[in-house]
Amino acid sequence: MKQRVMTAAVLVAIVLVLFLIPSNFARIVMALVSAIASTLAYKEIIDLRESKKNPYPFMMKVIGFVSMILIVFNSLSTSSLYTGISSLSVCLVILILIIPSIFDKKGKYTTKDAFYLIGTTIMIGLFFNILMLLFFVNKWLLLYLLLIGTMTDTFAMLIGCLIGKHKLIPDVSPKKSVEGSIAGSLVATIIASIYYYNVVTSGINLIVLIVMTLILSVLGQLGDLFFSKIKRENEIKDFSNLMPGHGGILDRFDSMTFIVFGYIIIMNIMNIIK
């Protein structure tokens, strides 16, 4: 518990530094943090494969890593937040990761391996790319998304421990309950919506804001369950021991991954409707 509290304090300190220092310097720090975090997250996924009998060839791991960094730092302009990374970078990543599988003769880098690496590269790269863009566009908006994930997880756990009787998906995450899940989303929706309306902008329909926040909270729980299933399928407790008491990068960003992707989708739908 002591390690968990100390690690949490360090993480909070990093977030505070990012949000309180001058914006120009904060962007540099955010880019550095994103580069390090995405690298560690990528390693955590690759390490799952390394534990199997058929690890990736060293060169493919290097190419995959470079491709992921390419996506992380692709199209870093405020206008690209809701339009996505460039088609050029995606096409390039797909080709350079899939072509080597054609020439594999010893089963060390099959087409299945290529698709796994492509999915990992694009997912992690895109997530940290959007995370940086959100910070560059409006760091208080990013805090809104972080608030959804944090409040949902916290209150789902607290309420679940107090009154949880019905298991949510015990085969994936035995400790999660239906009661905790509902309570977590409701509390997170109320707190995050109040924050958004008073800090980010009041120029939004309240019903739209509440519905959007609720959807993102539910998506956050699905993200948590998705990464829990990855761990269960690979018979591990945490993705790594990077943060004592908290696991690895992916253990901390599990729900945020789906929240960030969901937010981008919702905003695009809203822009189309307008």
The answer to whether 180 and 165 have CB atoms below 8 angstroms apart is no
- Mean pLDDT over 143-157 rounds to 91
Q: What's the pLDDT at 74?
A: 85
Q: What's the pLDDT at 264?
A: 93
Lowest-confidence range among 45-54, 148-157, 164-173, 254-263? 45-54
Label residue 163 exposed, middle or buried (CB < 10 Å: 0-12, 13-18, 19+): exposed
State yes or no: pLDDT of 167 exceeds 70: yes
Q: What is the DSSP letter of 257?
A: H
- pLDDT, tens digit (0-9, with 9 covering 90-100), for 62-101: 999 999 999 999 877 666 777 778 888 889 999 999 999 9
Beta partners for residue 177, in sequence order? 167
Other CB atoms within 10 A of residue 17 CB: 13
Mean pLDDT of the chain: 87
The closest of 251, 262, 177, 271 to 217, measured between CA atoms, is 262
The answer to whether 63 and 37 have CB atoms below 8 angstroms apart is no
How many residues in total does the chain contain?
A: 274
- Mean pLDDT over 242-247 rounds to 74
- Mean pLDDT over 220-248 rounds to 86
Other CB atoms within 10 A of residue 88 CB: 10
- pLDDT, tens digit (0-9, with 9 covering 90-100), for 45-57: 988 876 666 678 8
- Mean pLDDT over 202-222 rounds to 95
Grouping H, G, I as helix, E, B as strand and the rest as coil, residue 175 is strand
Instruction: Outline where the chain has alpha helix (H).
Output: 2-20, 23-50, 58-72, 87-102, 111-137, 139-163, 178-195, 206-233, 249-273
Q: What's the pLDDT at 35?
A: 93
Phi, psi (rounded to 5 degrees) for 154: -65, -50
| Exposure of 15 in the CB half-sphere (CA atoms within 13 A) | 13
- Mean pLDDT over 217-244 rounds to 88
pTM for this model (two decimals): 0.90
**Cα(261)–Cα(251) distance, integer angstroms:** 17
Amino acid at 244: P
**Cα(239)–Cα(248) distance, integer angstroms:** 5
State yes or no: pLDDT of 245 exceeds 90: no
